[in-house]
Structure 1
Amino acid sequence: MTIASQQLADASGLLSLGLFVVGMALLGVLGGAFWLGARVKARESARPRPEEQPHLPPGGAVHEILENREPDEVPRTAEGGRPLTPYELTNMQTRSSKDKKRPRWSRGSSGSFGGGGLGAH
């Protein structure tokens, strides 16, 4: 053991005092954080009472509607005319489809590009 390492290993009052000060500073920071959190929580609005909670509509729960939707047609430009820009197109809406049969993927297809899986069998 060298003299330098022996001096570092010896008990030193200054080192103990430094560790004590660091510990007290850490306790002060934690106490301040707790105090600040309590102040923020005290400024928050109160929790809603049971009568302020949302209720079911008078007709009962709303149920899911299953229907096929189809998009509106994209406007076509005249032959030789300039193409439409995205800003000239409106929001494309959907409407109820007259066909009630659900669309299915082709046999042996996974249903999406790179979807993996074995697909329909």
Structure 2
Amino acid sequence: MQLAAPSGLMSLVLFVVAVGVLALLGGGFWMTSRVRYRESARPRPEEQPKMPPGGPVREVRQNRESAEIPRISKGERPLTPYDLTNMDSRPSASKDRPRWSKGSSGSFGGGGLGAH
């Protein structure tokens, strides 16, 4: 019964915790204002980026095909990845987009059902 009796100590502890939480919140706002004060000023309207003279830049879509891997003759040393550096690609003459086979996810382990 004595533990269940109202105590002024519990009220004091709750008051101290509440004051501590308010102090943490106030300190957070104070720190934020200090950080914002040190930041550079926002750009003025005349400092904003301007549109290029030729108008907006548009996206260019094109199909690319890679250069052929050099073939080696029988008995020659096999090619290593270092021999294949800077393999270039060129624009494709075909305008058809490459498609995966029907029912395929397009990649190994892509999570699709696969061809059924």
2:35 to 34, 40, 59: 40
2:17 paired residue number:
22
1:51 paired residue number:
46
How many corresponding residue pairs? 111
Aligned-residue offset at 1:36: 0.6
Aligned-residue offset at 1:65: 2.6
TM-score by length of 1: 0.74
2:5 maps to 1:10: yes
Structure 1, gaps ≥5 residues long: 1-5
CA RMSD of aligned residues (A): 2.4
Superposed CA deviations along residues 12-63 of structure 1, whole A, max 9, x for unmatched, are 1111111111111111111111111110111111111222222211011122
2:95 maps to 1:95: no
Q: Percent identity?
A: 60
Q: Which consecutive aligned stretches of 4+ in structure 1 deviate over 4 angstroms post-superposition? A: none
Instruction: Report which of the two structures shows the higher radius of gyration computed on alpha carbons.
Output: 1
2:103 maps to 1:110: yes
Separation (CA, whole Å) in 2 of partners of 1:37 and 1:54:
28
Superposed CA deviations along residues 57-107 of structure 1, whole A, max 9, x for unmatched, are 10111223332211111222332223222233213321112233444455x
TM-score by length of 2: 0.77
